[in-house]
Structures are given as structure tokens and as C-alpha cells.
Structure 1
Amino acid sequence: MTMRAALYWAPEVDDPLHAAGSAWLGRDAETGATLTQPPVPDLPALTADARGYGLHATLKPPFRIATSYAALREDAAAFAARTAPFDLPPLAVMDLKGFLALRETAPCPALRALTDGAVAALDAHRAPPTEQELARRRKANLSPRQEAMLARWGYPYLEEDWQFHVTLTRRLTPEEAAWVRPAAEAHFASVFEMGTGRARRVREVCLFTQAGPGAPFLIAERLALGG
């Protein structure tokens, strides 16, 4: 099967962050609609990769489905139902290894527990990565721990190496960051009330799907957390 799926966190539809983040990327992953981006130089090119994945933070990274969507959906819903809602700390625009991303401004153990649980709960539905996929990952000079994660879960940046982030750009040069970061901060300022911020209640997780290679990821279902 060429279809891929992932379990992500994404803002709720009525959260202003959904509209602001989707506009920044130029696409709404809920509807698939193309959106007008802010007038920031080179923004369409700088956000091209992130636009394809949609506004999200990764919990269970994308994988080819080895079973069926119905079986995956059943287990994802069961995982969500046994997971308690929690507060997400205020977010802010930050640099993450040269990328711009929205990141939490305070520690949140519940986030780590959420992603660790999602990775394990859905792994029976993950087809093993191909040799080409493994080779592409290994170009990043993985540490021994990351290599172990790649072998076990098909993705190297989990457990201690996992970081919550909502990707906003590709990796930027220092010159690009000098104008793009202030533009991003200004774009999200009204949403985050920069300098004060606010917490968000995590009440759902999202199953994203990709129909085939090169297709955009879309929100297939929003699954309510139960606890």
C-alpha cells in the first residue's frame, strides 16, 4: 500500500491558531483548501515542505499502513479514549536547529507521555521502512540511540530525542532568519498574545493521511481524548 498515516496534534478548528497557522503555511489540512499566505519574501518556498504535511506536531510519525485504515482508526480511537486531556503550555515561535517552529514555553511531561503512548499503540499497523527510507534517515549521522529507535520504531527522533514542535519553515540561513522570524512572530502575535501567552487544552488527537507519494497530508479524523 502507498497510503501513509500519522497521528498528530493539531489545533482545534475553532482555535485561532488553526486559521493563523494554516494561513502561514498556505494550506488548510482540515479542508485541503489553498490559502493566501502573508506577504513575507520567499514564504511559499520557505514553507513548501511544511505545507505538504499540514499544520501539526508529530506524535506517531508518518508510516505506510500494513493493515487497514479501519483497523488503524479503531486502535487510534481506543488510544485516545484512554488518554486524559491535559493543558498544553503557551507556545511561541522558536528556532529549532535552524527551522522555525512553534514550541512550548514550559516543560510538559504529558506531551512526552502522549507521544510515547501513540508510538507504541499504533505500531502494529506500521509497515517496515524500505531500504531507501532507512538510507535517507541515516544521512543525518544518527547517534547509537537514534539508530536503535530507527530499528525499533522506523523513526530516529523518539523518546529522549523527541521534541514537540509545529514546523513553520525549512531550515533557514542566518540571513533568511533575520527577516522571517520577526515576520512569524508578528503573524502569530495576536494568537499567542506574545509576552503573556495562554495555555491550550489538549482534548483531541488527529489522524492524518496521505493518499500516495507527493500528495498532501489531510486530517482524516479528529479523535477525542477520554481519560
Structure 2
Amino acid sequence: MRAALYWAPELDDPLHRLGSEWLGRDAETGATVRQPAVPGLDLAALTDDPRGYGLHATLKPPFRLAAPFPAMLDEAAALAAGTAPFDLPPLELVSLGGFLALRESAPCPALQGLADACVATLDAYRAPPTEAEIARRRPERLDAAGRYNLHRWGYPQVFGAWRFHVTLTRRLTPEQDAAIRPALLAHLGDVPARPRRVTSLCIFTQAAPGAPFLIGERLPLGG
């Protein structure tokens, strides 16, 4: 089993429905969802990677548990309860190294603080990565800070290297990007840019290697 700490839209946020439709799966229920048609492209194939993880933005990346899940859940609930809800800046569609994703349109110190707290506070519950897991991160391609983060925290992009992003495609060629971007913008409309408040911290779980991630818990922020 693996767990991860993610941000995900609230169920009454239209972004939950639209993003789940785009990816073809609802991470809250696990149900398969009909995807919109994109002429000339196999949308199912171009969204297969993010579909498995569910609609989310990573706060603490997936990790194998070094302690019982209930103990980790209690610690995460305490972290959430001690964190004040905050406004998320409007989201916008960008390309990140060939992946289309939603990113915040302005810096958000509260969001960075929550991600940092998730990484550090829950680290005692993370089992160290195996040699194979480290190798998959291609440490030879990382700078010194990335290699340190990988070995110390299990992931290269944490703290100052962390970037909020809601991944919506796999890596695209320029031609695929040009074809799919208008369809994605039309599907989402103005929903990403609408005001929204971060009021919960989500625990996603993966039952076994290769299994899809599901939202196991929505922990309310209460500070």
C-alpha cells in the first residue's frame, strides 16, 4: 500500500467533475467516466498516466508506509486541523516540460507552507525508497539539491523545488499539444480561474503496485 497527500477540488467544485471527465476516472468513487471526444486524437492514451493518479496536485508524493496507516492518518488530521483554510489563486493551463497542467497564476505562501508541512511532518511514516525506486528518479540527471532531496525526503521536487500542478496529460509532442490544448480549454471553460478556497487535505491511497489511486480521506482544515 502507498499513501500520498494531495490537494483535490471539493466535490461541489465544478473542477472535480470536469477534471474527472477529462481524465476518464473519478478518484473519489473510482468510477470510470466518459471522456470528451477530441477529433484525431486518442484522449484515453494521452491521459493514461494522470488517470491512474486521479485529479490532484501533489503536496507529499506517494510513499510506502513505515508505520500503520491509522497512525499516519491521525498525524495528517492533526496537521490539517492546525492549518487555516486559505484562498487558492486562479488556476491557468500551462505546459510543464510537455505535460499540460493547471498551475496557480500567482504565488501562494499558504499553499507552499502546507506542502512543506506535509513533507516534513509526515516523513516519519514514510518508508525509505528502495534502490529501484531511487533509480527510477534518474538521480544522475539531478543537481546536488535534487539528489539530496531524493535521498533525504524520497523525492527531488520538495520545498523550494516544489511546484503546484494538476497534471492533465502525459508528455505531448508539439503537434499533440497544438491539437489537444484548444479542446482542453473548451472543456474546462472559465472554471479553473474561478475563486476557490482550500478547506481540506486529501489522503490518496493505492492498494497495490499499479492500482489506481483513490481518495481515502478528506481531512478538514481547521486552524
TM-score range, shorter chain: over 0.9
Give the Cα–Cα distance (whole angstroms) in 1 for the partners of residues 87 and 71 of structure 2.
Answer: 29
Corresponding residue number in structure 2 for 1:36: 34
Give the Cα–Cα distance (whole angstroms) in 2 for the partners of residues 167 and 76 of structure 1.
Answer: 24
Q: Shift in Å at residue 182 of structure 1?
A: 1.1
Q: Shift in Å at residue 160 of structure 1?
A: 1.6
Pairwise mapping of residues 1-227 of structure 1 onto structure 2 (< 5 A)? 3-40=1-38, 41-138=41-138, 141-192=141-192, 197-227=193-223
- Aligned-partner SS, 1:223: strand
Give the Cα–Cα distance (whole angstroms) in 2 for the partners of residues 67 and 185 of structure 1.
Answer: 42
Give the Cα–Cα distance (whole angstroms) in 2 for the partners of residues 26 and 206 of structure 1.
Answer: 20
Q: RMSD across aligned C-alpha pairs, in angstroms?
A: 1.0
Paired residue type of 1:164: F
Paired residue type of 2:54: G
Q: Shift in Å at residue 139 of structure 1?
A: 5.5
- Total equivalences in the alignment: 221
Q: Is the 8 A contact 2:3 2:63 kept in 1?
A: yes
- Aligned-partner SS, 1:95: strand
Give the Cα–Cα distance (whole angstroms) in 1 for the partners of residues 160 and 190 of structure 2.
Answer: 33
Paired residue type of 2:14: P
Give the Cα–Cα distance (whole angstroms) in 2 for the partners of residues 154 and 190 of structure 1.
Answer: 36
Q: Is the 8 A contact 2:139 2:147 kept in 1?
A: no
Give the Cα–Cα distance (whole angstroms) in 2 for the partners of residues 191 and 58 of structure 1.
Answer: 20
Paired residue type of 2:221: L
Give the Cα–Cα distance (whole angstroms) in 2 for the partners of residues 190 and 115 of structure 1.
Answer: 26
Give the Cα–Cα distance (whole angstroms) in 1 for the partners of residues 195 and 171 of structure 2.
Answer: 27
- Aligned-partner SS, 1:181: helix
Q: Unmatched 5+ residue regions in structure 2?
A: none
Q: Which runs of 4+ in 1 moved over 2 A?
A: none
Q: Shift in Å at residue 167 of structure 1?
A: 0.3
Q: Shift in Å at residue 198 of structure 1?
A: 2.4
Give the Cα–Cα distance (whole angstroms) in 2 for the partners of residues 8 and 205 of structure 1.
Answer: 7
Give the Cα–Cα distance (whole angstroms) in 2 for the partners of residues 106 and 76 of structure 1.
Answer: 27
Give the Cα–Cα distance (whole angstroms) in 1 for the partners of residues 202 and 140 of structure 2.
Answer: 28
Q: Unmatched 5+ residue regions in structure 1?
A: none
Change (3 A) 1:139 1:39: farther
Q: Shift in Å at residue 66 of structure 1?
A: 1.0
Q: Is the 8 A contact 2:88 2:108 kept in 1?
A: yes
